[in-house]
Amino acid sequence: MSVTHDEVLKIARLAELDVSEEALPLLAEQMSRILEYVAQINAVPASEGVKPFVPGPDALRFRADEVKPIPLAFGPEALAPAFKDGFFLVPKLGAFEGADS
Amino acid sequence: MSDPSEALASAKATADRLVKAKRLNACLTPVGELRKALVTQAQAAHPSGVLYGMPVAVKDNICTLEFTTTCGSKILESYRSPYEATAVAKLKAAGALIAGKTNCDEFAMGSSTEHSAYGRTLHPFDKTRVPGGSSGGSAALVAAGAVPAALGSETGGSVRQPASLCGVVGIKPTYGRVSRWGLVAFGSSLDQIGVLGRSVHDAARVLSVISGRDPKDSTCEERDPLRLPNVPESLQGFVIGIPREYFPADLDPAVRRACDRAVRLCKELGAAVREVALPHTAYAVPTYYILAPAEASSNLARYDGARYGPRFDGSADVRALYRTTRGEGFGPEVRRRILLGTYVLSSGYYDAYYRKAQQMRALIAQDFRNAFDRGVDLLFTPTTPSPAFKAGEKLDDPVAMYLSDIFTVTANLAGLPAISLPIGRVKGLPLGGQFIGQAFLEDEMLEAAYALERVVPATEEA
């Protein structure tokens, strides 16, 4: 596993981290060695049936990935000047951009 | 101790001892500030507390109100937390005196306390060597006799490894036994506050006080504080497992001799000893060095000059501000781990590294369950593959440094309790052996440690 200088720079951008030109060669070399070392876990056959181990109280076990409404202390109607059938009422675009739209 | 004058005397004597230990660079709190804070605390402490007047130093990644919390990092230089860790609040409620903040590897990432922005901590017996890490400052202060106990934190062995190298006791509790509220996050599914002490009893007393439920931390189990066991007369009825994977053919012969002697003593105390297999042990360090950096890369995103940390650049571009602040503020090991963590979580590599490591973690935890299901109460292993190594020896070779944790990371991955206690000397340097217990059965683990501690010639060459 060899990590190129460009890959280090790309990862550094994702991590919002400045990496100087001088630090690049050593960093790329060290990351390559570490990734080569940790990649040995791939020698163990794939075990798709294994459930992830999550320490801590049972209450923290992963919940189903479902999108549910977030309960608000006040309904949106209490916060908006105008609210109807689940929508915020706003001025029509035309009111700002002229009659031709 | 129940007399306020004794507590005050303890505070002053502790300050004097910490001044003497200054050469170790183990305590980050300035002496004048520390002396004043100790006296103030002694005057305010409750005489009825079970730790009344006992000085306890605190690793610098655990939040305190009295002192700064820098995590050994330039990015948190002079940071003062607006709240304190639950463990610290419990210590104070029990009458303990917080004896300053101890040096550590930056954000607890390291095994030698060389990765601190405030300079390396020296080994208390040999200044050319490291005290281990990342809780090296806590271990060095206890070993030097400056404090009877100190808090540390464990993500992959950061309490037990320095305890082994410095010749003191180190306890890593079960994940969920001690609140993490106020412990600066590194790897949230692994982090636990632990205790270093000059004896099993000192460390266990502190653990008992800081353990127990905490509504502020949802990963803390809904349990009463740990009750301290009595010191047993024998180990009759205990079955101790010896995992063969922890005694490879190339293990340092002196480390093997020290462990063999400890096992023989356990047998003489009445324990039954049985060899067991933990077949996925070889994959524990690689698994850990995928999961921990992945979690760290997320946890450390907050240090960007806007939410936390000083701004190292006056740039108008906010992303340039983040990058400069983080690039300047973090040391090389933290930068390396953030990059590694970001890499293994990034698109295209997630399955090969992070997902696979999650599966390996489950298999490692299953290994332990299998051993315990077969009637083994505890496991005994060396804590470290060698005694304290020379400063600088592993700094340029991260993989060699990571392998210092080879016998400790498994307990963190499986969320199990473990204790390291001194079992002998190797070329004059201390070495620890560890018991790994079953989840939330710290009392059994402590019984075995109490019994072994009484008979093991901890200061004799193995």
Catalytic residue among B10, B73, B112, B134: B134
Residue A64 binned pLDDT confidence (cut-offs 50, 70, 90): confident
Q: How far is A21 from chain B (nearest CA, A)?
A: 12
> Over 60: is that where the pLDDT of A100 sits?
no
> Over 90: is that where the pLDDT of A55 sits?
no
> Over 60: is that where the pLDDT of A98 sits?
no
- What pLDDT is attached to residue A30? 95
Residue B318 binned pLDDT confidence (cut-offs 50, 70, 90): confident
Name the strands in the sheet holding B149-154, side by side, starting at the edge strand that comes first in the sequence.
Answer: B97-102, B55-59, B149-154, B192-197, B169-172, B418-426, B429-436, B378-382, B239-243, B272-276
Largest CA distance in chain A: 68
- What pLDDT is attached to residue A101? 43
- What pLDDT is attached to residue B134? 97
pLDDT in tens, B253-269: 999 999 999 999 999 99
Retrieve residue B290's tokens. Answer: 């995928």
Question: Nearest residue of A to residue B352 by CA position?
Answer: A42
> Over 80: is that where the pLDDT of A93 sits?
no
- What pLDDT is attached to residue A52? 82
**Region B17-46 average pLDDT:** 95
Residue B219 binned pLDDT confidence (cut-offs 50, 70, 90): very high
Domains and CATH numbers, chain B: 4-210 (3.90.1300.10)
- Tell me the domain boundaries of chain A: 5-43
For residue B398, the chain A residues in CB contact (below 8 A) are 30, 33-34
Question: Nearest residue of B to residue A48 by CA position?
Answer: B359
Query: Could you give the C-alpha distances from B63 to B56, B163, B306, B323, in angstroms and in order?
Result: 14, 22, 20, 26
Q: Residue B243's beta-bridge partner residues?
A: B276
> Over 80: is that where the pLDDT of B452 sits?
yes
- In this structure, chain B runs to a length of 462
Retrieve residue B270's tokens. Answer: 């009445």
Query: Could you give the C-alpha distances from B120 to B106, B132, B335, B342, B384, in angstroms and in order?
Result: 11, 10, 18, 27, 20
> Over 90: is that where the pLDDT of B225 sits?
yes
A57, B219: Cβ pair inside 8 Å? Answer: yes
Radius of gyration of chain B (CA): 21
B359, A8: Cβ pair inside 8 Å? Answer: no
Percentage of residues in chain B with pLDDT exceeding 90?
93
Q: Which of residues 58-77 of A touch B (CB under 8 A)?
A: 59-60
**Region B401-408 average pLDDT:** 94
- What pLDDT is attached to residue B344? 96
